[in-house]
C-alpha cells in the first residue's frame, strides 16, 4: 500500500515538474509541491498514530 502511494506521489511530482518547466510557473509549482508533501506527511503521521493507539491502550491498562 505504501509503495502504491509513493509511486503515485512520484508520478504526480514528475507531472508537476514537467508542467512547471513547460509553463515556467515556479511559484505555483512550489506551492503545489509544499501542499502535496504536507498532505502526505499528515496522512502518514495519522496512520502512525492509528498504529500507536492500541499500544498506548495496552500500556495504560
pLDDT of residue 61: 52
The residues, any chain, with a CB within 8 Å of residue 40's CB and separated by 6 or more, are 5, 9
Provide the 3-class DSSP secondary structure of residue 61. Answer: coil
**Number of helices (H), then strands (E), in the chain:** 2, 0
pLDDT score at 54: 58
Is the sign of the CA dihedral 34, 40, 43, 44 positive or negative? Answer: negative
Give every residue of the chain whose pLDDT is below 70, as ranges.
Answer: 1, 20, 22-26, 51-61
Domain ranges of the chain: 2-54
Q: Please report the pLDDT score of residue 60 as a whole number.
A: 57
- In this prediction, residue 45 carries a pLDDT of 77
The reported pTM is 0.41
Q: Taking a C-beta distance cutoff of 8 angstroms, is the pair 42, 26 a contact?
A: no
pLDDT the model gives residue 37 = 82
Could you tell me how many residues make up the chain? Answer: 61
Amino acid at each position: 500500500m505504501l509503495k502504491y502511494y509513493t509511486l503515485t506521489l512520484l508520478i504526480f511530482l514528475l507531472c508537476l515538474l514537467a508542467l512547471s518547466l513547460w509553463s515556467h510557473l515556479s511559484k505555483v509549482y512550489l506551492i503545489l509541491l509544499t501542499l502535496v508533501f504536507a498532505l502526505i506527511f499528515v496522512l502518514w503521521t495519522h496512520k502512525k498514530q492509528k498504529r500507536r493507539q492500541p499500544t498506548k491502550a495496552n500500556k495504560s491498562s
